[in-house]
Amino acid sequence: MIKILIVDDSASVRNFFSEFFSNEPDLEVVGCAEDGEAAFRMVKELNPDVVTMDVNLPDHDGFAVTRRIMEENPVPIVIISAVYSASDAEIGFRMLDTGALAFHNKPSINDKFFRERMNEIIMSVRLMSEVRVVRRRNRVQKNVEHLDTETMKNFRQNMKNAKAKIVCIGASTGGPQALKQVLIDLPKSLPVPVLIVQHISSGFLEGLVNWLHEKTGHNIKIAAQNEILEAGVIYFAPEDSHIQVSSKRRVILLQNPAVNGIRPTIAKLFSSIAANFGEGGVGVLLTGMGRDGADGLLEIRRNGGYTIAQDKETSIIFGMPGEAVKLGAAVSVLPLEKIGQDINRYILDSYGENL
């Protein structure tokens, strides 16, 4: 049984979520907190498996509450808060910096996709309850260690004749945090474009882009139909459109039906990169539920491109990268803190110049 603590200042919302969660046979609501102080106390007393957290509380904001819980009594935290604008979404993403694992829009009972939104939250609560969290302390981020000599030797031998032309990245559950780390480790002068598909709820993408720009300093934007991709720019697939790239680096947006309920899919992007760029493609598959992108990553590898999958130890959910590893789609399986550096070193080696 998964024990849940609900933190929200609205009594009606607490009652609603409590009733909804309690209808699930494997979920048990062990407590409801209306403010930050109650949340601190109940986390200690009730030892929940997961906490759902609102952003706005009467005595503390969600940042302070999440940070204190993660410093004193670490527990998986899922943010559930109303999102009306990109700035609202940015607030939620900034809470990920304090240790929260996932962020969901608080669904309206009048939303025609209400049942789907609630099912997403329930699935997230189940998944996050299994994530091992550790005590967090505020500290200056350290530079990641250099790749070991053997890893460098292997990819130089395998890829020494390739010339990177484009980097494509796929991510789902846990992706925002993972993408932040990867992009921080990439130089602003990268001589190729980077294109990303992130599975994300409607209304969140602009906030994610703004948050990542603030955190990484990269030029990040949402890709547009027929746009020509430019070196050094990070592009995100827009909401609710599949995305492909032509051999001339032109963006192609498609309104084809969702694949397994997902649009955009990582698979369509990766397949187009494999077909149109061959050995010039660099594919990266990060944390996420399901298997979207695994077959596409294998296509990139089979066409001579360089491929990376995030390892199990650093993935919040090892679903997608795990499926890629099973298929033999990844040239390298790396911890998150080495992926950005590995991309950089591969491109540096490919171009034979300092970036």
Q: How many CB atoms lie within 10 A of CB 219?
A: 12
In one letter, which amino acid is 237?
A: A
Domains of the chain and any CATH numbers:
2-128 (3.40.50.2300), 149-351 (3.40.50.180)
The sign of the torsion formed by the CA atoms of 272, 276, 279, 280 equals negative
In which residue are the tokens 């091992």 written?
132
The verdict on whether 49 is a catalytic residue reads no
The one catalytic residue among 199, 272, 311, 332: 199
The one catalytic residue among 292, 315, 332, 342: 292
Distance CA 284, CA 297 (A): 8
The one catalytic residue among 124, 172, 201, 350: 172
Q: By the 8 A CB rule, do 73 and 28 touch? A: no
Q: By the 8 A CB rule, do 281 and 162 touch? A: no
pLDDT 10s digits, 242-259: 999 999 999 999 999 988
Radius of gyration of the chain (CA): 21
**Backbone dihedral angles phi then psi of residue 203, each to the nearest 5 degrees:** 95, -5
pLDDT 10s digits, 193-252: 999 999 998 888 999 999 999 999 999 999 999 999 999 999 999 999 999 999 999 999
pTM of this prediction?
0.85
The verdict on whether 22 is a catalytic residue reads no
Q: Where are the beta strands (DSSP E) in the chain?
A: 2-7, 27-33, 50-53, 77-81, 102-105, 166-171, 194-198, 219-222, 233-236, 242-245, 251-254, 281-285, 306-310, 332-334
What are the beta bridge partners of residue 228? 250
Q: What is the pLDDT of residue 201?
A: 83
pLDDT at 3 over 70: yes
Q: What is the pLDDT of residue 78?
A: 94
Q: By the 8 A CB rule, do 315 and 333 touch? A: no
DSSP state of 59: S
The verdict on whether 199 is a catalytic residue reads yes
Give the residue-averaged pLDDT of 3-11: 96
Q: How many CB atoms lie within 10 A of CB 229?
A: 19
Q: Average pLDDT, whole number, for the chain?
A: 89
